[in-house]
Every structure is written in C-alpha cells, then in structure tokens.
C-alpha cells in the first residue's frame, strides 16, 4: 500500500499494519505447504507487526498489549524449526571447512540426526500453532484493528511530525541496552545482555523502516545502521547456540567413550567467531546516529 509523504500518522501506521498482515497470511500459506523459508519469513513478519504495535502504542486509544503478547507467542511457536534449521546449516558448513584428518568420529551424522529431528519437530509444532484458536483469534483481532484503527488526536497529525519522537524512544532503549552489554562481564550474563541489545537494535531498525515514507533518507540511514548492529549481534547469538550444542554433545560423546576432539575444535572456532562478532558490533554501533532523527529531518 503506497503512502504519500504528507500522510498522517494514522494513515502510515494503518498501511504498514495492513501490508504486514497480508505478508503474514502469505507466509502462513508457505509454512503449510512445507516451503523451507516460510517459517523464518513468517516469524520476521510477526516481529514487524509487534514492533509497530509497541513503537506506536502512544498513538492508540487503547492498549495493544494483548495483541503484542499474541504475536510474541506466535514467534516463539515458530522458533523451534528455524533455530534448528539455522544451526544445522551453520554447523554443516563449518565441518565442511575442516581438514578431513581433523574430522574424527561421526560428526556429520550427529549434526544431521540431532538437528534434522529437531527441525521436523519444530515444523510440526509450528503447524499445530497455526491451528490453535489463539492464532485464529490473532488474525481476527489484527483485521479488526486495521479496519478501525483507534488512534488519539495525534494520529491525525502529519506522520513527519509524530514519528521522530517514537523513533527516538526506541533509539533510547537501544542505547540503554548497549550500555548494559558493554559492562564488564563474561559468560551467560554477557551473552544475554548482547542478545537483548540485538533485540533492541531490531526494534529500532523496524521502527525506522516504518518511518521512511515520512522521514526519508535520514530514517533509511538509521534503519541501515541499526541493521548492521543487529546483524553483528545476530552472528554472536548464532555462536551462542552453536557453542551450546557443541559443548553438550561433546560432553555426551566423552561419556559414551567416543572421540569428541572435532566438536571441541569447532567450539573453539565458534568462540573466535563470537569475539570477532563483538568487534563488528562495536564498529557498527559507532555508525548509529539515532539522536539525529528530528522533525526537521523530514524530506
């Protein structure tokens, strides 16, 4: 749905919600048909819808927390299949780069057996969620919201005058998360802080993308910068998941009297990748110019 540059905040938000609701239904059909990328794309669309509701909550006459909670539930129901798929592909690529003499034991078989089964279980779980009354109610509620968007008087104001404040709120959340992630520390607490910063970067990216029709190049640049932060921290989070898998199964192989050398080697490689990802994050964060989003930036 095309939005004019002088659209009101309500018009822009309504168009954004309608477009993403249509995408959600399209990706649902792909998930049901068994398309490999369907689950991932549907999960992303649910996140975009949730971000719009949360970022624009000050514009709504009533709370959208229930809808946001249902979208978060949907994302979690879809996560099992996607996480297993991502991890299997990542580890298979990693094993393929190793010298044959350093691949000891049935490493490929272990990865395929464990993660293919997890992916299939996740897909079955995702399909169950799509039949759940909670999902069907979510679609009805989103349809109703788009048909009759209950906004405050601020919703009738030009989007270029309203959205900068909302984007700045998400930028402030990201700055707080980044400060927490940069505190001295290690281990699971550090990983959790970086993961939280990633989620806040994703929220800022989606909020800035929502604002592009009204705010133009400045919002587009902010979205691009936030995306770089998100991607660097996404790489770090992927190593968190892979290292957890390698540690757990390496320990199991040892207990069962098998050679766990290769899994330990892969774990060390993923540790190095995690360190590189945090450096990429630091560089990406330096390019985020969140404070520059102002009303005068429209155009």
CATH superfamily of 9-284: CHAD domain (1.40.20.10)
pLDDT (tens digit per residue) in 228-237: 999 999 999 9
Backbone phi and psi for residue 141, each to the nearest 5 degrees, phi listed first: -65, -40
Taking only the tens of pLDDT, the chain with its 299 residues reads 567 778 999 999 999 999 999 999 999 999 999 998 999 999 999 999 999 999 999 999 999 999 999 999 999 999 999 999 999 999 999 999 999 999 988 898 889 999 999 999 999 999 999 999 999 999 999 999 999 999 999 999 999 999 999 999 999 999 999 999 988 877 889 999 999 999 999 999 999 999 999 999 999 999 999 999 999 999 999 999 999 999 999 887 777 777 889 999 999 999 999 999 999 999 999 888 545 555 444 43
DSSP codes, 50-67? HHHHHHTGGGBSS--HHH
132 DSSP assignment = S
What residue spans define the domains of the chain?
A: 9-284
Q: Which residue has the tokens 């272990």?
A: 110
Is-contact 50 75, C-beta < 8 A?
yes
């Amino acid at each position: 749905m095309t939005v004019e540059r002088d659209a009101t905040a309500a018009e822009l938000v309504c168009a954004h919600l309608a477009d993403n609701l249509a995408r959600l239904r399209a990706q649902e059909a792909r998930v049901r048909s068994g398309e490999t990328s369907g689950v991932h794309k549907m999960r992303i669309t649910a996140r975009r819808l949730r971000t719009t509701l949360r970022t624009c909550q000050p514009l709504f006459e009533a709370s959208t927390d229930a809808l946001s909670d249902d979208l978060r539930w949907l994302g979690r129901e879809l996560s099992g299949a996607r996480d297993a798929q991502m991890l299997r592909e990542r580890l298979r690529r990693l094993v393929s780069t190793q010298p044959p003499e350093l691949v000891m034991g049935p490493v490929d078989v272990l990865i395929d057996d464990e993660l293919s089964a997890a992916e299939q279980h996740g897909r079955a779980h995702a399909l169950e969620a799509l039949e759940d009354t909670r999902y069907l109610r979510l679609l009805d509620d989103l349809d109703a919201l788009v048909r009759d968007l209950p906004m405050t008087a601020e919703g009738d104001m030009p989007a270029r005058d309203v959205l900068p404040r909302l984007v700045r709120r998400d930028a402030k959340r990201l700055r707080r998360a980044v400060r927490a992630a940069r505190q001295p520390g290690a281990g699971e607490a550090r990983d959790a802080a970086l993961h939280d910063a990633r989620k806040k970067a994703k929220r800022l990216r989606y909020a800035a993308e929502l604002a592009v029709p009204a705010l133009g190049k400045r919002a587009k640049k902010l979205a691009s910068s936030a995306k770089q932060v998100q991607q660097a921290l996404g790489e770090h989070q992927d190593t968190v998941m892979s290292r957890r898998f390698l540690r757990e199964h390496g320990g199991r192989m040892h207990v069962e009297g098998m050679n766990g050398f290769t899994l330990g080697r892969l774990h060390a490689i993923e540790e190095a990748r995690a360190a590189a990802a945090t450096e990429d994050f630091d560089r990406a964060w330096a390019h985020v110019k969140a404070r520059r989003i102002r009303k005068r930036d429209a155009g």
